[in-house]
Chains A and B, each alone.
Chain A
């Protein structure tokens, strides 16, 4: 099955032809946003790019970038190019730092998204005989529903397990005979760990593949997941601002994530200068949507760092491959699939009475899972006589962090002055995680 194509014409299109297709679709997109979205009209007018007379892909570089802040400032629907009557779905980011970023989908967008996922799954050898356990969270997060529609379109049997309740996940996996698991890589490892504790022998289960994404992960972690779950682990990438998962995905060769270039134009830029970099150079990934209707995006800066390769893959696909995204250009942390900004943690800590304004976010790796801990200092104001009271104090901060960020973060009390005071830019994050 691995040699099969879901849409051979597009997936193997010679690059020259592919670029022509991109130009043709880009022109339509530019006219669409010019006529329907004030934000882009002003952007295009300001940069002197005439969408009605757009001649070359090289001219895309003249248009300024779009950022997450642009999306926030146009909250909630101001970047939509279609009236709400044509929007059939809304997704959004968690929005714990100010306004969330809101994205909409028309019927065609939903169909496109499903098609991309189906294409991705098919390129990893998944087909209608597969049983897909979708353990991405269902809801505003694009992971759950995104995978779901694509897997159904493919004709596979979908189990909308959603995240959490690991013992039930394992029971489903065993009793229903899931052949594919979709979740974050860290959750895949957690499932493996709990499975081992419960005496599961994964080599005896029909499970053969993991479609894992929503957080950066190393090749080392891939090996670990593959060994523990006895599967092939595939990296899938996406962000709701572009469409959700399926913007790029590895084929079974696992040699980079194929960007769906017939629908998304990808650039790699130098994050400092904004200049476009050639294939093979590491830089920030920038996407322009080519066919999306509800909320087209022009030169969206992902803040993710990667390297692009445009030579034809061993699988025969001509679409450019991006290396596993590693690192960010901003301070956003991605912990177990949840986006965390240090400023969010700070905001919570500063709201706690009797807490000194010094803290350190410590990231580490334990059993191949990312861990996050916040160190705060004990002081006479918060020092209680009893261990129980101190533990209660820690727990009360942990609860506040959880309700603000949606992630369990351990709080650890330290002696005064143990957290380094900085003169100038404070170092708030200590990253002890293993990197490739």
Chain B
């Protein structure tokens, strides 16, 4: 089961990220993890939250531009070599990773070229996917 990720467009301005977290807080939505990428004048924020639909609506109402994408969420044991094990599985099957980031509870979020195939090979190699 893929996990839903919200992407938010943010201008590179003081307080914009705080505005996003304020909205989530007001809606009582838990932020499980996030990453940011920045260009010169703007950046994009990727979020995994407890209630994607509600979060998206709240952000949209506040005027943010958002996008929903399917990503894979994998549990990784907190010991040496665990991440490598997962990445090696994907590399072996020629699945490219667009981006990857860590979220709470030693879980990682992956965006890959072929999502269903990635899920399949990870599962068949004993990697635990989160919902």
Contacts and interface: CB of A to CB of B under 8 A. Distances in A.
Interface of A: 378-380, 383-387, 390-391, 412-418
Interface stretch (B47-55, B62-70, B122-130): B62-70
B69 A391 contact: no
A390 B37 CA distance: 12
Given A387-B37, A391-B39, A414 B65 contact: no
Contacts of B9: 378, 383, 390, 413, 415
The 7 A-B pairs at the shortest CB distance, nearest first, are namely A378-B9, A383-B65, A378-B65, A415-B11, A387-B37, A387-B39, A417-B63
Contacts, number: 50
Interface centre among B9, B44, B66, B98 (most CB of A within 10 A): B9
B38 interface: yes
Contacts of A413: 9, 41-42
B95 interface: no
Contacts of B42: 378, 390, 413-415
A386 B98 contact: yes
A378 B39 CA distance: 14
A387 B64 contact: no
B67 A412 contact: no
B10 interface: yes
- Output the residue of B11, B65, B67 with the most chain A CB within 10 A: B65
A424 to B, nearest CB: 23
A385 B69 contact: yes
Interface residues of chain B: helix, strand, loop or mixed (majority): strand
Nearest to A386: B98
A383 B43 CA distance: 12
B67 A416 contact: no
Given A390-B44, A412-B41, A413-B42, A385 B66 contact: no
Contacts of A391: 39
Size bin of chain B's contact surface: 20 to 34
Nearest to A384: B67
Contacts of A383: 7, 9, 65-67
A387 B44 contact: yes
A193 B44 CA distance: 35
A1 to B, nearest CB: 50
B36 to A, nearest CB: 10
B130 to A, nearest CB: 21
Given A390-B39, A412-B41, A413-B42, A380 B66 contact: yes
B128 to A, nearest CB: 25
Interface in B16-51: 16, 37-39, 41-44
Contacts of B98: 386
A415 B39 contact: no
A416 B64 contact: yes
Contacts of B43: 387
Contacts of B41: 412-413
A330 to B, nearest CB: 30
B38 A385 contact: no
23 contacts: A378-B9, A379-B65, A380-B67, A383-B65, A383-B66, A383-B67, A384-B67, A385-B7, A385-B44, A385-B69, A385-B111, A386-B44, A387-B37, A387-B39, A387-B43, A390-B44, A414-B11, A415-B10, A415-B42, A415-B65, A416-B64, A417-B63, A418-B11
A380 B69 CA distance: 13
A141 to B, nearest CB: 32
Contacts of B37: 386-387
Contact of B38 (A379, A380, A387, A417): A387
Nearest to B37: A387
Contacts of A417: 63
Contacts of A379: 65
Given A380-B66, A386-B37, 20 more contacts: A378-B9, A378-B65, A380-B67, A383-B66, A383-B67, A384-B67, A385-B44, A385-B111, A386-B44, A387-B37, A387-B38, A387-B43, A387-B44, A390-B44, A413-B9, A413-B42, A414-B11, A415-B9, A415-B63, A418-B11
